[in-house]
C-alpha cells in the first residue's frame, strides 16, 4: 500500500485499526464511544455518531470492513480527484457524513432502549462502496472471492437483503446502517456530480445502457 497514492483511504484504515484494537481490550473506552442511543438522547453525546464508527466487535468484523474499504475506497479516492469532484475533501465528507446518516434511523428507533448499542464502520463503508459503483456500474465484484456478478446487480441484491434483514432482525447486525449508508453514498455522489461536473452524467448513462450480469472484467 502506498500512503501517498491513497492517503485518505489508508489513513482511515489506520485510524480504524488503532481505535478498534484499543477497544478490544478496553471496555471502559468502548462504553464511552459506542453508539448508545439511550445515552445520546439523554446526555447529548452526539460524538458517538462518529466514534462508534471506528470501533469493531471483533477481528473478523474489522478485517472485513477494512478489506472492503481498501478495495473500493482507493478507487473512489481516484475518481473524486480525477473527475474534479472535490478530491479528498468530498471523500472525507462522504465518509463522516455516512457514519452519521447511517446511524440516524437506529438512533430514532432505539433512543428509549437502554440495552441497545451498535458499532462499526459499515455505514460509511457502504456509502463508499455505492459511491464507487456509480462510476463503474458494470465492473465485476467477486462475492466471497468466488461468485462473480456486476456491481449494479450486487447493489440491487444488497439493498434488497438489507431491507429484508432489517425487518427480520435478530442477528445482531445493524442492517439499517448498511441500507442508509448505501443510499446516502448514492445520493451524496450524485449531488456532487450534478453540482461540480454534470457532464459526467452523459458517460454514466451511456454505460448503464450496456448491462452485464457478471460484469466487465
What would the pLDDT profile of 146-176 be if each residue is shown by its tens digit?
Answer: 788 999 999 999 999 999 988 876 677 899 9
Considering its fold, how many domains does the chain have in total? Answer: 1
Task: Say if 217 falls within a structural domain.
Answer: no
Q: What angle do CA 99, 180, 66 make, to 5 degrees?
A: 50
Question: Residue 93 maps to which CATH number?
Answer: 1.20.1540.10
User: If 0-12 CB within 10 Å is exposed, 13-18 middle and 19+ buried, where does residue 60 land?
Assistant: exposed
User: If 0-12 CB within 10 Å is exposed, 13-18 middle and 19+ buried, where does residue 1 land?
Assistant: exposed
Task: Say if 1 falls within a structural domain.
Answer: no
- Quote the CA–CA distance of 147 and 141 in Å, as a whole number: 8
Task: Say if 127 falls within a structural domain.
Answer: yes
Q: Is the distance from CB of 40 to CB of 111 less than 8 angstroms?
A: yes
The confidence band for 105, taking pLDDT boundaries of 50, 70 and 90, is: very high
What would the pLDDT profile of 38-71 be if each residue is shown by its tens digit?
Answer: 999 999 999 999 999 999 999 999 999 999 999 9
161: its cell numbers: 437483503
Task: Say if 43 falls within a structural domain.
Answer: yes
- Quote the CA–CA distance of 73 and 189 in Å, as a whole number: 13
Label residues 172-193 b or e (16+ Cβ within 10 Å = b).
Answer: ebbbbbbbbbbbbbbebbeebb
52: its cell numbers: 462508534
Domain holding 149, by residue range, is 7-208
Amino acid at each position: 500500500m502506498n500512503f501517498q497514492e491513497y492517503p485518505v483511504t489508508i489513513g482511515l484504515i489506520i485510524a480504524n485499526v488503532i481505535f478498534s484494537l484499543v477497544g478490544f481490550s478496553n471496555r471502559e473506552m468502548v462504553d464511552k464511544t459506542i453508539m448508545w442511543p439511550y445515552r445520546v438522547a439523554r446526555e447529548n453525546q452526539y460524538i458517538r455518531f462518529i466514534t462508534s464508527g471506528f470501533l469493531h466487535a471483533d477481528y473478523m468484523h474489522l478485517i472485513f470492513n477494512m478489506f472492503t474499504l481498501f478495495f473500493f475506497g482507493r478507487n473512489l479516492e481516484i475518481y473524486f480527484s480525477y473527475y474534479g469532484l472535490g478530491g479528498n475533501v468530498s471523500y472525507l465528507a462522504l465518509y463522516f457524513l455516512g457514519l452519521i446518516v447511517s446511524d440516524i434511523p437506529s438512533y430514532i428507533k432505539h433512543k428509549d432502549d437502554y440495552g441497545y448499542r451498535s458499532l462499526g464502520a459499515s455505514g460509511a463503508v457502504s456509502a463508499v462502496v455505492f459511491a464507487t459503483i456509480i462510476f463503474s456500474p458494470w465492473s465485476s465484484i467477486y462475492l466471497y472471492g468466488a461468485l462473480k456478478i456486476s456491481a449494479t446487480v450486487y447493489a440491487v441484491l444488497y439493498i434488497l437483503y438489507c431491507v429484508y434483514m432489517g425487518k427480520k432482525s435478530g442477528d445482531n447486525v445493524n442492517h439499517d446502517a448498511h441500507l442508509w449508508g448505501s443510499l446516502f453514498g448514492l445520493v451524496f455522489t450524485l449531488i456532487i456530480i450534478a453540482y461540480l461536473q454534470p457532464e459526467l452524467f452523459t458517460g454514466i448513462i451511456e454505460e448503464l445502457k450496456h448491462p452485464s450480469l457478471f460484469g466487465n472484467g
